[in-house]
């Protein structure tokens, strides 16, 4: 688990940093950057859920997963329920904050594992 979390954090930071610099030179990659970074984080969330790592009730990861699930559901329902269209506007500004928040959650979990591997929160 520790190795996966370290790789997860490094990839997340690399995607955020690399795609941010790329965006400076080519603004057309904005949505690609959102989907690549978000796709990696959704894949990581699925792995965490299946392994039940740091997903106990009340943890930061659990709250992040719930917010992400609500956003994904609203985005998927937008063609059917047009009132959810505002989610795209919100996500334009919220996605970078969520990506950084996800990286901070990963960092905190690595700190917990490194300090006391026996007391890892599940």
Both tokens of 69, joined, read 């699930």
**Residue 120 forms part of a structural domain:** no
Angle at the Cα of 101 from the Cα atoms of 77 and 57, rounded to 5 degrees: 75
3-state secondary structure of 10: helix
Dist CA 51 CA 45 (whole Å): 10
Q: pLDDT truncated to tens, each residue of the chain (122 aa)?
A: 778 888 889 999 999 999 889 989 988 888 888 889 888 988 988 888 888 777 778 788 889 888 888 888 887 877 777 776 777 777 778 888 888 999 999 999 888 888 865 655 55
pLDDT at 14: 93
**Residue 119 forms part of a structural domain:** no
- In which domain, by residue range, is 9 found? 2-114
Task: Domain count for the chain, please give it.
Answer: 1
**Residue 121 forms part of a structural domain:** no
pLDDT at 121: 53
**81 contact partners, CB below 8 Å, separation of at least 6:** none
Main-chain dihedrals φ then ψ at residue 15, nearest 5 degrees: -65, -45
**Residue 122 forms part of a structural domain:** no
Dist CA 55 CA 62 (whole Å): 5
pLDDT at 84: 67
Main-chain dihedrals φ then ψ at residue 53, nearest 5 degrees: -95, 120
pTM of this prediction? Answer: 0.79
């Amino acid at each position: 688990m520790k190795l996966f979390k370290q790789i997860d954090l490094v990839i997340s930071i690399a995607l955020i940093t690399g795609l941010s610099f790329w965006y400076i030179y080519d603004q057309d990659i904005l949505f690609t950057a959102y989907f690549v970074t978000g796709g990696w984080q959704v894949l990581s969330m699925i792995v965490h859920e299946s392994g039940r790592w740091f997903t106990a009730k009340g943890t930061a990861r659990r709250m992040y997963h719930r917010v992400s699930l609500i956003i994904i559901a609203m985005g998927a329902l937008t063609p059917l329920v047009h009132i959810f269209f505002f989610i795209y506007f919100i996500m334009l500004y919220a996605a970078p904050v969520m990506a950084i928040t996800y990286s901070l959650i990963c960092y905190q979990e690595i700190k917990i594992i490194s300090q006391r591997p026996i007391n890892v929160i599940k």
